[in-house]
Every structure is written in C-alpha cells, then in structure tokens.
Structure 1
Amino acid sequence: MSETYTFTPPAVVSVPVVGSPARFPVHRVYCVGRNYEDHAKEMGHSGREPPFFFLKPADTVVVAEAGQTATIPYPDLTSNFHHEIELVVAIGKGGRNIAAADAFEHIFGYATGLDMTRRDLQSDMKKTGKPWCIGKAFDHASPIGPITPAAQAGDITQAAIWLQVNGSDRQRSNVAKLIWNIAETIEQLSKGWELQPGDLIYTGTPEGVNAVVRGDVLHGHVDGLTDIRFQVV
C-alpha cells in the first residue's frame, strides 16, 4: 500500500555532476567555521583552534549550472550581506568515526560554493550568546556549482581558490592553507554525526570576506572544478 501525505512532499534538492546525466541528491549541508588562519584573524581569532561546525538546511542550496549566471536574492533583515568562497566536499560513502587516513575513500567529488552570510544578524546573535542560525541558514544561503568527481578533480589539496566581485579580486588563497585539511575535517565531523551519502561539507573560507549589494556579480573559482557565477538581485 502506497503512502499518502497531507501535502505534496518537496522535490529532492540535487546538484549536477560533471560528465554525468545523474544528479547528486543533497542530504545535509555542514559548514566549517574559521578554517583559514587569515580569515580567523580578520574575524578576531587566531591559531589552530579545535574545528567547529554548523549546519544549513538542504533547501538552502541554489545551483549555478556550468556556463550560466544564477541569481541570489538579497535577503530580508540584513544590510550587511557577505560572500564567503569555499571548496565543497561531496560525500559519497557514509560512516562514523572515519579516520583521516581513510577519509578520501568517502568522497564522491568536489564543487565550488559560497557560504552567504547575514553578517549583522550573525554578529548580533554572537554578542548575546544566542544561536546564529538566522545569520547563516536562511533561504538561498548555500550557492554551489556542479560537482566534479574526485578522480577528475586533480590534486584538490593544492588548489587555488578565489572570488571576484564585478571582475575585481575579493578573496584569493589556496586550499593548502586550510587549518584543518579535508581529511582532518571529515575525521572530526564524523565523530559528531554519522556522515551519509549526499552530505555536502563547506570547508571554510579564506580572508577577504566582505559585503555585496544588489546587482553585484560573484565569480568563484577552485582549480580543477567548474567556476560559479551568481548575481545578487
């Protein structure tokens, strides 16, 4: 007997895969905070602090197809809307307590992504010790491009990563500068949650985060992956 629902369930959130007609269904979106030293410093912190994580709903994901400029609505309640360019790791094999030495066996592929932030709301919540989901987990907060399978991505651990806004540099660094590298991040994250196929891990952003306004065009790049373009509307 087939199940019935009180309303039509939402469609599965998914991301295109480079070279394949199949799409990657999204389970959860994990984000790593302050995972580049210079960004940690610009946010008032420094050093190799223990990693910390926050989550965004899967339906915050918005996709820029290859060669297209997608849109991000300027969100309500903020006047300080920030970009954060990130390498995104797509998990293809789940697990709990995954050793760093085994982490790459669990990776399906990689994508270029943006962790968009209502910085003023996040800062206000921090000042009063309240959760800052409202600053990070809002609609359209997780832009992403197509996922490149791991075998096609080259040496992602040494990849340049950058973001331009309206053709001018805002962020420019290298994945090698991650405080907690990809394998270590998966090891630590899988201690707190059982990772599942379909999980996306936004691995952190380098220095240079700043505000965008309506009309701005964001162009993100990670070596070996598909570039992304988004316009704020």
Structure 2
Amino acid sequence: MYNDNQPGILTDAGVIDIGDLCPDGGQAAIVHLIANYDDLKSQLESRAAEGTPVADAQLQAPLPRPNKILCMGGNYREFGAREPSPMWGFTKRHHSIMGPGGNVVLPDVDANIFHHEAELVLVFGRGGKDIPASEAMDYVFGYTAGVDVSARMPAGGGGRGRAQHAAHLGAQIAPHLLSPCVDGELRVNYNTDDLAHSIAESIEYVAAIEEISPGDVLFMGTNHQGLGAMQDGDTIAVGVEGVGSFNLTVSDPLKRRWPKGVDETTARDIRESAGGPGRQARPLPAE
C-alpha cells in the first residue's frame, strides 16, 4: 500500500499501481487481492516494470486494518535455553497498526520499560476454523516484518507483564532471519529455526480459538535475548531476510529514560523462566 492507501507492487524499478485490479482501496483492496490472487496473478506479472520511484511514494502498512491481529507469546526457545512451553497468545486491536516511518508515542502508563519485539508476521490467504497443522501452510499467503511494541507492567499488574500498545508492519508481503537495530546498534540476530512451536503448529493453535479470514495476520513471537528499551528520540530499524526492512521512530511526552543497549535483566529472566517477561527495574530519571 502506498500514498492514499492504494495497492501496488513494490519492485526495484519502483511502485507499480494495481488499483484497477482491486475494488475500493485500503484494507478492502488488499483482501480482494489476497482472496483472488490465483486469478489475478497473470495480470500482476504482466504489468510494466516501470512505476513511481520508491523515493516519491509514501509506503504504508500492506494491511492497514486487519480484521484480526493474532499474536503468539513465549514462542521462541531463546537460542535453545528453554524447552517449548505450552502455547499461549493474545490479540491486538486492529486500529493499532502503523506502517513504515510511523512514530509510536509511548503512553502515560506505569510501565517498567517499553520493549521493541521484532517478529515474523504471516498473512493468511484463506479463511477457516479448526485448521490442522498438516494443512496449515496452505492457508498462508505470505510474510511481512513486524514490531510488537510492549509495555512491561509491574509485578501483580495482571497478565504476563504486558500491556497492549502498537503493532507495526513493514511495507511489503513476501513469500527468516530477523535483525532489529536501534539508532544503528544491532540488538539481536535470530532465526525462525529457534521457534518453540512451528508456523503450522501455531496456525493450528490460533485457528482452534479464532475463525481465520483472508488478510488476518499472525505475529509469530520474538526471541527476547536482544530486547532493549524504546525511548524518546530512538529510530528503530527492523529487517526480515527475504521480506525487507522498515524504520519507525519513538517519542515519549514524559521523556522517561532507560539504559541504552540490550536489556540483559529481561534476557536472563526469560532464559531462566517458563513464564512471560516481568521486569522489575524502574525507569531512570528524566533528562
């Protein structure tokens, strides 16, 4: 999606408009494309290679308002330090989506810390319910890059030390190595071979609870060993091998500060605990 939520094909030569192949715009356009991809594929491939230069196009989230944003929790083995735990997950509100270049404003909540969670995000191409793992990959349209912005709440605040906030999606969907950077500092490189539960198993799990529709998304979870604070003035770049990368910025009206770099306390807690992250450190005084 680009400019005024118009659908396009992102190529090395630029952005090729395909609005004539999709009714309406925004989410309805991409859902139509996903649901009818097999019939539209030959027309998409025949489009001229020239388009609007990427520098002149405002790239946006490829799915501006998914019907469902499903998220897996505790779904990595932390580089093999943990055995797979029982599957669990959560949802996010569909209006929380932001696209490339978005600015996340940290809310006025009593959070211990705000974390960036770089994740592989799958996009569903077919709808269904009670999907067995043996058939699950037939329901995947493609993948994009995502960041789940999480506020870690004080112990006793309920849940698994998490407050819902924003979900960011990269500019493109592509058919995986993840690498988040903050102000040019690489926080972690991790691969999906560290998943505690495979993509197919995760689809089976969520589809037993929720009915899936084309254009719904599933955040596959994160490896917590490279998490760090998100704070005012940060620029965060997230890349997924084979999918692409995107940037986002952070602002905080309260100007809260945390130590820069990897949050080693949370990394250790996650390695040693079967539960979700619950960090007790408090923010530094505002500068």
Does TM-score exceed 0.5, indicating one fold? Answer: yes
**Residues 214/15 of structure 1: CA separation in 2 closer, same or farther (3 Å cut):** farther
Cα distance change on mapping 1:36 and 1:208 into 2, 3 Å: same
Q: How far apart are 1:129 and its partner, in Å?
A: 6.9
Name stretches of at least 5 consecutive residues in structure 1 with no aligned partner. Answer: 1-13, 154-158
CA shift for structure 1 position 18: 4.6
Rate the CA distance shift 1:17–1:172 in 2: closer, same or farther, 3 A: farther
The unaligned stretches of length 5 or more in structure 2 are: 11-17, 20-28, 31-62, 252-287
- The answer on 1:160 being equivalent to 2:177 is yes
RMSD in angstroms over aligned alpha carbons? 2.3
Question: Is contact 1:97–1:187 with CA below 8 Å preserved after alignment?
Answer: yes
Shift of 1:218: 0.5
Counterpart of 1:211 (choices 229, 237, 261) is: 229
Matched length: 196
Structure 2 residue 84 is the aligned partner of structure 1 residue 48: yes
Cα deviation for residue 39 of structure 1 reads: 7.5
Shift of 1:165: 0.5
Q: Give the letter aligned to residue 128 of structure 1.
A: G
Give the alignment partner of residue 163 of structure 2, picking from 136, 140, 164. 136
Identity %: 29
Secondary structure of the structure 2 residue equivalent to 1:37 = coil
In the alignment, which residue of structure 2 is the partner of 1:187? Answer: 204
Q: TM-score, normalised by structure 2?
A: 0.63
Q: What's the CA shift for 1:70?
A: 2.3
Q: What is the DSSP-based 3-state SS (H/G/I as helix, E as strand, rest coil) of the residue aligned with 2:203?
A: helix
TM-score (norm 1): 0.76
Answer 1 or 2: which has greater strand percent.
Answer: 1
Q: Report whether the alignment pairs 1:72 with 2:99.
A: no
What letter is aligned with 1:80? I
Q: Secondary structure at the match of 1:84?
A: strand
| Aligned residue type for 1:225 | V
Change (3 A) 1:161 1:215: same
Residue 108 of structure 1, CA deviation = 1.7
**Shift of residue 79, structure 1, vs aligned partner:** 5.2
Question: Once the 2 structures are TM-superposed, how far is the Cα of residue 147 of structure 1 from its aligned partner?
Answer: 3.5
Q: How far apart in 1 are the matches of 2:123 and 2:108?
A: 29
Q: Per-residue CA shift, 1:118-170, capped at 9, x if unaligned?
A: 11x2xx2xx3372469x4323xx101112414xxx3xxxxx111101111111
Question: Which fold has the larger relative contact order, with Cα–Cα distance below 8 Å and residues 6 or more apart in sequence?
Answer: 1
Aligned mates of 1:200, 1:113 — CA distance in 2: 10
Q: Deviations over 1:175-212 (max 9, x none)?
A: 12111111111011111111122211110111211212
- Return the index of the structure with the highest Cα Rg: 2
Aligned to 2:14: none
Distance 1:52 1:63, change over 3 A: same
From 130, 134, 144, the counterpart of 1:97: 130
- State how far apart, in whole Å, the 2-side matches of 1:148 and 1:218 are: 20
Distance 1:176 1:39 in 2: 9
State the partner residue of 1:148. 173
- Which residue identity lines up with residue 107 of structure 1 in the other structure? V
Tell whether the 8 Å contact from 1:219 to 1:228 is kept in structure 2 after alignment: yes
Give the one of 145, 156, 165 matched to 1:112: 145
Q: For residues 194 and 37 of structure 1, do their structure 2 counterparts lie closer, same or farther at Cα, with a shift above 3 Å needed? A: same
- Distance change >3 Å, CA 38–CA 18, structure 1 → 2: farther
